[in-house]
Structure 1
């Protein structure tokens, strides 16, 4: 089972990139982030024509997440992260697909830090940690997938010294990510690439992609029920170089049948 994550940075503006990648990569499940589209403008017809069923949680101009499944619609199990009924951001969507609970998330950026946006990011991370603990207690086969907006270690950023005060790299955020791992979640990419500088995001300016001045901020966290079935984890870097590309590359893992 091939599960992918792709921050598309605008699903309608980069629909041709998404469809091209779906045709070439043929993932079984895809978690999309940063749709930047209200629900009524989500391109469901084009995605269905590409062979995928979809559920989505959109928001005008900002945020937005979706889960695609090849050949069938995902079974939605949760819309929105619990813990704050007043949070109107479309950042979490969850579905059951082929026996695995897939949580698609788009964690807040948090800049500038310190400040209200950073505080919101830490609160959101806290809610994620609490909910992830519930999933762990239930012992379900689960994957938390998406753009976490955190570089967990120095190995995940091209120039660590330049990012020390950024909201994606501050110790409070890295600590929150580490707590998830301490609870028993497995970082799929780092597990299979333990010493490698592997990036998933490159800014548009200063020739960042050509210089490989990247960040690893798109992650797959696997529960113990499926972590031992992990057989592959890669980044489709070439898609970042396509015309009208997102600033993120698609990332995927492969889980062996249970």
Structure 2
């Protein structure tokens, strides 16, 4: 069973590429981020034509997450990250799919820093840690995946100096990510690629894609119950090079059923 995550960077603008990717790779579950559409504008019918059922949490022009499942309807568990009743940003969606707890996140970017956006990022990560601890306590097979907007180590970027001041690789961001892992979660890509050098994002500017100046911010964290079923993982890098592509490439994990 393949579970994939893909920051699509605008579902309407990238719909042809998204449908193309779904047909070519056929993940059992696809988690999408930055759909950038209100709920009523989500193109569920287009996915249904391919056999995918969808659950989504939209927001006008910004953010937004969705979970697609091949031949089954995801059963919603949690919409929005608990812990702040005033938080109206659509960044969290949790569902039961094929016997797996699937958590799809679009973690705040945090720039510019210092400032309220970076404070929001760190507070959001603390709330996420609390929710992930609660999921672990249920002892269910679970995956927390999506765009974390954190470059975990210097091995996860083409040149650490290039973004030394960016919120994505500040010590506070990295420490918060490490605290997530230390609960008992397995970072699939890092586990299978301990040497690093695996990118999931290439900026549109300065020829980053052509020069392979990328970094890793899209992650798949597995609970102990699911980590035992991990067979393989990877990045659909080729899809980043297509016309009108997202600036992210899809990440996937292959699991034994």
Quote the Cα distance in structure 2 between the aligned partners of 1:136 and 1:29. 21
Q: Is 1:162 aligned to residue 154 of structure 2?
A: no
Quote the Cα distance in structure 1 between the aligned partners of 2:2 and 2:20. 17
Measured on the aligned residues, the alpha-carbon RMSD in Å equals: 0.7
Counterpart residue number, 2:89: 89
Counterpart residue number, 1:9: 9
Quote the offset at 1:138 in angstroms: 1.6
Counterpart residue number, 2:244: 244
Quote the offset at 1:163 in angstroms: 1.5
Counterpart residue number, 2:124: 124
Counterpart residue number, 1:20: 20
Quote the offset at 1:161 in angstroms: 1.5
CA offsets, 1:182-228, max 9 Å, x none?
11000011111111300000000111011110010000000001111
Quote the offset at 1:103 in angstroms: 0.3
Q: 3-state SS of the aligned residue for 2:128?
A: helix
Counterpart residue number, 1:104: 104
Paired residues for 1:22-61 under 5 Å: 22-61=22-61
Quote the offset at 1:139 in angstroms: 1.2
After TM superposition, the score normalised by the length of structure 1 is 0.98
Quote the offset at 1:256 in angstroms: 0.7
Quote the Cα distance in structure 2 between the aligned partners of 1:122 and 1:190. 22
Counterpart residue number, 2:145: 145
Q: 3-state SS of the aligned residue for 1:145?
A: strand
Counterpart residue number, 2:183: 183
Matched residue count: 257
Counterpart residue number, 2:228: 228
Gaps of 5+ in 1: none
CA offsets, 1:73-93, max 9 Å, x none?
111111011100110000000
Quote the Cα distance in structure 1 between the aligned partners of 2:74 and 2:53. 7
- 4+ residue segments displaced more than 6 Å: none
Quote the Cα distance in structure 1 between the aligned partners of 2:73 and 2:248. 25
Quote the Cα distance in structure 1 between the aligned partners of 2:138 and 2:46. 36
Quote the Cα distance in structure 2 between the aligned partners of 1:72 and 1:132. 24
Quote the Cα distance in structure 2 between the aligned partners of 1:109 and 1:196. 22
Quote the offset at 1:38 in angstroms: 0.4
After TM superposition, the score normalised by the length of structure 2 is 0.99
Q: 3-state SS of the aligned residue for 1:168?
A: helix
Quote the Cα distance in structure 2 between the aligned partners of 1:224 and 1:108. 26
Q: 3-state SS of the aligned residue for 1:63?
A: coil
Quote the Cα distance in structure 2 between the aligned partners of 1:165 and 1:243. 31
Quote the Cα distance in structure 1 between the aligned partners of 2:140 and 2:81. 17
Quote the Cα distance in structure 2 between the aligned partners of 1:134 and 1:36. 29
Quote the offset at 1:164 in angstroms: 1.8
Quote the offset at 1:162 in angstroms: 2.2
